[in-house]
Amino acid sequence: MRKLTYFIACTIDGFIGDESGDASFMYPFVDEEFLSYLKAEFPETISAQGRRALGIHDLEPRRFDTVVQGRGSYEVALKEGITSPYDHLREYVASRTLAESPDPHVEIIGDDLVARVRELKAGDSRFGIYLCGGSRLAGELHEEIDELVIKTYPVALGTGMPMFGSGFAVTEFALDEVRVFDNGVVVRTYGRKS
C-alpha cells in the first residue's frame, strides 16, 4: 500500500490559514534556506506555476506522483485561472458540486471519497499520495492518513482554519523526523501508529 501523506503548512497553534483559509501570511517564511529544502526534498509539492517560476518544472518527484485536494483548495488556483495546479502529478479534486472537471488533467471524485482514496493507495507505484488539504478534506480522510508532514511557521493566530475540519477520537502518531530552520520554521514528520 502506498502512503497518504498530509503535507501541510500551519501556525504554531495549528491553523492552516486565517478563518477564510488565506495562508498568504506564511509566504515570507519561505526564504532561501527553506525553499532550498523544499526544492530538494518535496519539489512536487510546489505548484506547477511556482515550479515554472523557479525553473524547476522538469524536476523528478521525490515522494509523490499523485495529489488529492478538496474543491476549497482547488478554488484558490481556479480563482487565478489555473485549472491544473499540479500538472506534474496525477490530480484528483474532491467535489460533489463540480459536475464536470475544468481540466482534462484533473479527475473529480464526487462519490465514495474514502473508497476512491483506498483504491489510489492500493495502486501500483513506488510513490506516495500527497494530500494537499484543505481542512475539511483532511477531516473527511483522517482515517486514511498514514503520515503527517507539518511545516510549522513561527506565528500564532488565535483563531483560523484548523488542520482538520472535523473532530475525531484521539489518534496517535510517532515522531519520525524533525528539521529546524534558521528562521524558526520547523518541519515534523509523523507516522500513524497502527
Q: Say whether residue 160 binds ligand NAP (CB under 6 A).
A: no
Binding window for ligand NAP (CB under 6 A); candidates: 28-36, 64-72, 81-89, 183-191: 64-72
Q: Say whether residue 113 binds ligand NAP (CB under 6 A).
A: yes
Q: Which of 43, 85, 128, 134 binds ligand NAP (CB under 6 A)?
A: 134
User: How many angstroms separate the CA atoms of 108 and 60, rounded?
Assistant: 25
Sheet containing 128-133: order of strands? 106-109, 90-94, 64-70, 128-133, 4-11, 147-153, 186-192, 173-180
Shortest approach of ligand NAP to residue 55 CB, angstroms? 23
User: How many angstroms separate the CA atoms of 74 and 58, rounded?
Assistant: 22
Nearest to 98 by CA among 74, 68, 117: 74
CA distances from 19 to 23, 128, 163 (A): 10, 30, 12
Q: Say whether residue 152 binds ligand NAP (CB under 6 A).
A: no
Q: Which is nearer to ligand NAP, 46 or 76 (CB)?
A: 76
Nearest to 163 by CA among 181, 190, 183: 190
Q: Say whether residue 85 binds ligand NAP (CB under 6 A).
A: no
Q: Say whether residue 186 binds ligand NAP (CB under 6 A).
A: no
Binding window for ligand NAP (CB under 6 A); candidates: 49-57, 72-80, 166-174, 178-186: 72-80
Q: Say whether residue 162 binds ligand NAP (CB under 6 A).
A: no
Q: Which is nearer to ligand NAP, 21 or 88 (CB)?
A: 21
Helix (H) or strand (E) holding 65: strand 64-70
Name the residue type at position 186. V
Q: Which residues bind ligand NAP (CB under 6 A)?
A: 8-9, 16-17, 21, 23, 69-73, 76, 94-98, 110, 113, 132-137, 140, 161, 165
